[in-house]
Amino acid sequence: MNGAQLLVAALENEGVKRIFGVPGEENLDFLEALRRSSIELVLTRHEQAAAFMAATHGRLTGEAGVCLTTLGPGALNLTTGAAYAQLGAMPMVMITGQKGVLSRKQARFQIVDIVSTMTPLTKMAQRIVGTATIPSTVREAFRIARQERPGPVHLELPEDVAAAQAPEVALIAPHLIAMPLADPAALDRAAQLISGAQYPLVMLGAAASRPPLAGALSDFVRRLQIPFFNTQMGKGSVAGGSGLYMGTAALSERDYVHQAIDRADLIICIGHDTVEKPPFLMGPTGPSVLHVGYLPANIEEVYFPHAELIGDIGPSLTLLADRLEGLLPRAGALLPLREHILARIGERADERRYPLTPQRIVHDVRQVMPEDGIVCLDNGMYKIWFARNYRTRIANTLLLDNALATMGAGLPSAMMAAMLYPARRVLAVCGDGGFMMSSQELETAVRLGLNLVVLVLEDNAYGMIRWKQAVEGFADFGMTFGNPDFVTYAKAYGMKGTRVESADGLIPALREGFAGGGVQLVVVPIDYSENLRVLIEELGSVRE
């Protein structure tokens, strides 16, 4: 057995089923070991997409996704994916090759210090310097990637270590680790705070979307009957139509949902992660904030909770509900605002304008997606509209990145979702800018035989930045571009492409796309004049 074979055996020991990536010559021993293993190699057309897919595997399953690249240029292409997983708290293990460490037959050719490059982008970045430590290093890497707060880990395997004879070293079996629960005294204090609130409100943040949490969170909300809103990445974490949903905070202030936030005297922030664009801004006055988290809150200018309940979130919330159920006469005090807030958000959703308004697109997508269908967003202006307007009833059915907020991740994340859940409808929603940053992966999606519809929103511009430019009073400059004919482009990949030609054309195009199976592209022109009208003119005056 050589080092590469031992590494692959250690990955199998961690339950790894697939590795995403683009190997290079320094990975050839590893590749050969992979060929003889139970692990599938999923080749992508760019390393960045491999990292986005591996990270999304971690996000959706809680188990680290794994990606593989060569040294130097290939490894550097992982950096955005590493940051995506680091900011988004997604467990991922990245394996990169390197020239031999004991001799330098190619001098410095292609050598970049990747461990140093990855250090600020990961929870751990380490070179494997000998075969004997491979089992313990791999076990440690997966433990760290998975453990709260989850994130990426980088392991570098030099080619001479990969080829070196490995001693008989036993692998280390993974085992479940239960997290500690919140302390009883902290639970009592939290219960007291909530009992005393006149206008309590629950906020569900990014960590509320961790895969195993949905049941306990939904029970907590159902038992206490306190209305809730969510951050963009906390969307969908309460199951079912509870009647308590007050909206999603896609802006930091002045959106309709802030009418409830501004009235609240206590906000119970469950799983808030300050990597997200702030859902509301704390200041010298305003509501008390109780932070419920796996880990203590990060203190920021705009987030400094007054009390904290730290421990495994699900069971700790159950203990909290045990103390409070049926004892909160003021639980629903903010509920009367709900109807108005949701009605304002839902306005103009069936308008028949062409090009389509963002509201209409969100509305039509919701019509076509079943409750368990998964919508994966890239980053652009439409993300705000989907976050505000798209209603979710099942956890992780609207995947968006409000942490690194990188363009280019929408399609790969949808591909990962389609691989993990072949029986569910999966839709990637991308702007014409972001789509073209990873559109080469259409070939990967077609080759893998995925069922997936890709919706491209066409405004011939980096619309989000163009909007900000307008809002801040700058001249309209430099943000427009031309596009390929997306229907022909789809055909070139052997896929079907459809252009939406009328306001009522989106729903049938999406339905046909899903019915037809395989990978399909639908392109729809979008009218962003609503950005200014709603997000600035209307919401700018919402408080007056």
Ligand X SMILES: Cc1ncc(C[n+]2csc(CCOP(=O)(O)OP(=O)(O)O)c2C)c(N)n1
Contact 520/450 with Cβ under 8 angstroms? no
Binding mask 398-427 for ligand X (x = CB under 6 A): -------xxxx-------------------
Which strands make up the sheet holding 398-399, listed edge to edge?
A: 398-399, 374-377, 426-431, 452-458, 519-525, 496-499
Closest by Cα among 84, 76, 152, 47 to 404: 84
Site for Mg ion in 60-119 (CB under 5 A): none
User: Which one of residues 287, 431, 497, 513 is an interface residue with ligand X (CB under 6 A)?
Assistant: 431
Where do the DSSP E strands lie in 23-158?
Answer: 40-43, 65-69, 92-98, 124-127, 152-158
User: Which one of residues 382, 390, 486, 489 is an interface residue with ligand X (CB under 6 A)?
Assistant: 382
381 binds ligand X (CB under 6 A): yes
Integer Cα distance of 418 and 412 in angstroms? 10
465 binds ligand X (CB under 6 A): yes
CB of 183 vs ligand X, minimal distance in Å: 40
271 binds ligand X (CB under 6 A): no
Closer CB to Mg ion, residue 191 or residue 461? Answer: 461
Integer Cα distance of 129 and 132 in angstroms? 9
Closest by Cα among 255, 411, 276 to 341: 255
Piece of the chain touching ligand X by CB under 6 A; list 94-102, 148-156, 319-327, 374-382: 374-382
385 binds ligand X (CB under 6 A): no
Closer CB to ligand X, residue 26 or residue 441? Answer: 441
Piece of the chain touching Mg ion by CB under 5 A; list 55-63, 118-126, 346-354, 451-459: 451-459
Burial of 283 (0-12, 13-18, 19+ CB in 10 A): exposed
User: Which one of residues 249, 317, 461, 506 is an interface residue with ligand X (CB under 6 A)?
Assistant: 461
Closest by Cα among 514, 232, 504, 259 to 388: 232
Site for ligand X in 277-306 (CB under 6 A): none
Which residue in this structure is represented by tokens 């809103």?
A: 229
Piece of the chain touching Mg ion by CB under 5 A; list 146-154, 257-265, 352-360, 454-462: 454-462
378 binds Mg ion (CB under 5 A): no
**If contact means CB under 5 to 8 A according to the sort of partner, which of Mg ion, ligand X, none does residue 407 touch?**
ligand X
Distances (CA, A) of 423 to 66, 102, 165, 417: 23, 49, 44, 10
User: Which one of residues 21, 236, 287, 463 is an interface residue with ligand X (CB under 6 A)?
Assistant: 463
CB of 462 vs Mg ion, minimal distance in Å: 6
431 binds Mg ion (CB under 5 A): yes
459 binds ligand X (CB under 6 A): yes
User: Which one of residues 63, 159, 432, 441 is an interface residue with Mg ion (CB under 5 A)?
Assistant: 432
Phi-psi region of 167 (alpha: psi -120 to 50; beta: other; left: phi over 0): beta
Closer CB to ligand X, residue 477 or residue 544? Answer: 477
How long is the chain? Answer: 544
Closest by Cα among 528, 534, 532, 533 to 388: 534
> What are the tokens at 433?
């800018």
312 binds Mg ion (CB under 5 A): no
434 binds ligand X (CB under 6 A): yes
Piece of the chain touching ligand X by CB under 6 A; list 98-106, 193-201, 443-451, 453-461: 453-461
CB of 439 vs Mg ion, minimal distance in Å: 13
Where do the DSSP E strands lie in 80-188?
Answer: 92-98, 124-127, 152-158
CB of 265 vs ligand X, minimal distance in Å: 36
Q: Is the dihedral of CA 415, 418, 421, 426 positive or negative?
A: positive
CB of 494 vs ligand X, minimal distance in Å: 24
Contact 92/130 with Cβ under 8 angstroms? no
Residues that bind Mg ion (CB under 5 A): 431-433, 459, 461, 463
Residues that bind ligand X (CB under 6 A): 379-382, 405-408, 431-434, 457, 459, 461-465
